[in-house]
Amino acid sequence: MTSLLITGAATADGTRGDLYVVDGVFRDPADAGAGVERIDADGLLALPGLVDLHTHLREPGREDAETVDSGTRAAARGGFTCVHAMANTDPVTDTAEAAEYVAALGERDGHCQVVAVGAVTKGLGGEELAELGLMAASKARVRLFSDDGRCVSDSLLMRRALTYVKPFGGLIAQHSQDPRLAGPGACCHESEISGRLGLTGWPSQAESVIVARDVQLAELTDSRLHVCHVSTAESLDVIRWAKRRGIKVTAEATPHHLFLDTPLVEGFDTTFKVNPPLRTSEHLEALREALADGTVDTVGTDHAPHARQDKDHPFDIALPGMLGLEQALAVVMEVMINPGRMDWPTLVDRMSTTPARLGQVAGQGRPIAVGEPANLVLVDPAARAAVDRDASASRSRNNPYHGRDLPDPVVATLWRGDVTYRR
């Protein structure tokens, strides 16, 4: 029997007390014996383990950039006890066998729970639906489907996908990018800066027009739609309108779209190339407001590790994406908690409870209470440090926060009662 007593921690609502973990479950602290292992958590917060709906683990296919082992070590360092592994692997996760393989990798190598995300279309090609039903019925029990990195731009195909997943409660997560308005060469928010730098612009409307189409298809099919990495004020207007109509739409914002803005690309540092691109300050402000008021339901990291050879190119050619797991909580604290825009119970909802519910992951996002699974992160609200990309657990180093002074909150992470990270 493995056991651990955490003493003096406060929960998100301010309640202070001891937590006793036995065989992966919270038990009555009064039952803890004198010789049990202890963690002194005086001054720390005990929060439910974080859940990410949007992680790129790269395995299988690009183990030079990330593996399930390295990516979930980074997740544990960031306080996550569950991540959803996106489907753009090699081979693509578009069959039951591929989804079961990803899930098995998670069981074998994971330092947190790994949930397979299935592709919407075969090979992410946007022409034919993938094996949605078979993936859902497989041992991987896939419920989230996404062609992330590519937009399902065909309206009829998107309607069919939404219709197909409805009977088993599936969720289609869309990368909203009109391929005509923002084609493969689009790499910078369309603005004065993109024009001055000679970079192909990615207008905010290239996102919002797809969001507008998709929420209407979700209404037509009475099915569930999730908007990945929403980044523009126009998209938020559409999502608010859709929610007022009772349409089943949810949305996520990434830490980098909440914190980093377009002027960072002026140095042509490809670390700051991401898709959708970093936006201007008015979009950042709109996203922060939307995360606070619930228009944006979750924080999704879009953790996108890349090997150096994929970033070491001219800006318009380099692959888009940046690391996100280890600093996600830090960024949300910096822009939402510390300025008073959000309280801790709301952060728990956005980063644990709601993503667990949307991903239909049993045992995650649960309250910290006797009888519940011991998935937990201990947080020091006052700790800060300069981010060092070379200290990352990830195999990649495309960390956009390198050198920045940010909160360094995670003291320990427990998954299934086991300590997966401890400072």
The alpha carbon dihedral of 67, 227, 183, 122 has a sign of positive
DSSP 157-219: HHHHHHHHHGGGT-EEEE----TTTS-TT--EETTHHHHHHTPPEE-THHHHHHHHHHHHHHH
What is the distance, to the nearest Å, from the Cα of residue 23 to the centroid of all Cα atoms in its chain? 28
The alpha carbon dihedral of 105, 107, 108, 114 has a sign of positive
Catalytic residue from among 52, 94, 302, 349: 302
- Quote the CA–CA distance of 5 and 26 in Å, as a whole number: 10
Paired sense of beta strands 16-22 and 80-85, if any: unpaired
Structure tokens at 255: 């830490």
Q: Are 415 and 373 spatial neighbours (Cβ–Cβ below 8 Å)? A: no
- Quote the CA–CA distance of 92 and 145 in Å, as a whole number: 12
The reply to whether 302 belongs to the active site is yes
Structure tokens at 40: 């002194």
Contacts 24+ apart (CB under 8 A), 16-20: 19/46, 19/368, 19/376
- Positions annotated as catalytic residues are 302
